[in-house]
Homo-oligomer: A and B are copies of this chain.
């Protein structure tokens, strides 16, 4: 709680002298003696610069906002870990803003962005964020990096190779011998969802397999919606022998629902999912997944935001290293026959 002027008094100098010495700017003219006295006084008083004062003067808060659809899923956790770690190296703090269950008319996003609380924002648009919210975010004038979506307005983005990932997943099923393959995707308005679907369709087309419309669903990425997707497919006269699920959270829902419906995985139906979080291993059966670098995505997002804050550059980056990788576990097998 010691202030600059406390230190100044104790060292017998002016506050400006203390400020200059402690901030260690090159080219300050202070004698060795006073420099020493200032350092001593600061140490004795356990001086720490007051963040709010600094932020007011410099209009830099050294904090960024992370806007996410929800915090209770493993994908968020991985992403968060990457963001957190990169933020630490940049001497930044992370403010979480979850859009989950936001009451109607709640304006926490505009407030987060409009009050000068953060220097920039990382946004992962969920399925349910409105165009209004999007506009608020992009119109704020703050540096924004959108995660896994190309931002229609200004601002940069970081993305994964969704298309390649889904191709990999689909090819795996095709190689196993499946021909009637279903797709459980996200809501069609989502841009990354479109890329994932494209990857699936490409792989199917490349193998000269037809994709029947009723085998392509777009309920969403939550477990419940995965369950819905499976329900829809199970009702068909000839259900698919394998399903590509565009999100691992939804895949967990698919698995639960399969158990409920008495569909054996992988004997009756193979499941391959997008994203490889730690929950893939504890699931039953352990999920065959495509691993995309979520942690690196988080790091890259934070790094890009930092660049954007400090130099105004805004680029759209694709995180391709490490490359998408198929992790084969026990939820996929050749079709029964």
Chain A residues within 8 Å of B, Cβ to Cβ: 1, 46, 48-53, 55-56, 59, 61, 63, 71-74, 76-78, 80-81, 84-85, 88, 93-98, 100-101, 106, 108, 110-112, 114-117, 141, 223, 252, 255-256, 278-279, 281-285
Contact = CB atoms under 8 A, between A and B. Distances in A.
Contact of A279 (B96, B100, B111, B282): B282
Contact of A116 (B52, B81, B110, B279): B52
B84 A78 contact: no
Given A94-B96, A256-B282, A282-B279, A115 B50 contact: yes
A80 B66 CA distance: 14
Contact of A48 (B61, B81, B111): B111
A281 B259 CA distance: 11
A135 to B, nearest CB: 13
A3 to B, nearest CB: 10
A50 B49 CA distance: 20
A256 B281 contact: yes
A22 to B, nearest CB: 13
Nearest to A140: B1
Given A282-B252, A282-B255, A52 B63 contact: no
B284 A116 contact: no
A59 to B, nearest CB: 8
7 contacts: A49-B115, A50-B56, A71-B84, A72-B74, A95-B96, A96-B96, A255-B282
Contacts of A97: 93
Contacts of A96: 80, 84, 94-96
A94 B95 contact: yes
A64 B297 CA distance: 27
A55 to B, nearest CB: 4
